[in-house]
Copies of this chain bind each other. A is one copy, B any other.
């Protein structure tokens, strides 16, 4: 999704929730859109053109989360990382490096994603659940740490 349509979608969603789509919030959405994976507040600050105070950044992330524009990713102990919600970026999975703590997105091939989907459906049906979402998290060593 390009930047303009992204902002249009996000603005529509925020207006629905009676909050403004301000410059600071746009900047956070841009920073997340540029990230190849979930990013913590501290990580976001360094990637942004003009730095935002952490207190504002946390509040912005909280507002965006309430409107389901971003979702928190909590796999790394002690820090919350955020990414744009799936309805904005599409479905993907995560890889977590057990050595350096980096978190990266993993795109599956359509074939693999189909395999995961059917597996999830089968598993959930057998257990009596109604699945609405799923995520495969792979932990291990990233290229740098291997």
A residues with a Cβ closer than 8 A to B are: 72, 74-78, 80, 93, 95, 97-98, 104, 106, 108, 112, 115-116, 119-120, 122-124, 127-143, 146
Question: Are A123 and B138 in touch, CB under 8 angstroms?
Answer: yes
| Complex copy number for this chain | 2
Give the CA-CA distance A139 to B75 in the complex, in Å: 15
In-complex Cβ contact of A80 among B78, B106, B122, B123 (8 A):
B78
Report chain B residues within 8 Å CB of A146.
Answer: 128-130
Question: Are B132 and A135 in touch, CB under 8 angstroms?
Answer: no
In-complex Cβ contact of A138 among B76, B108, B115, B124 (8 A):
B124
Question: Are A112 and B106 in touch, CB under 8 angstroms?
Answer: no
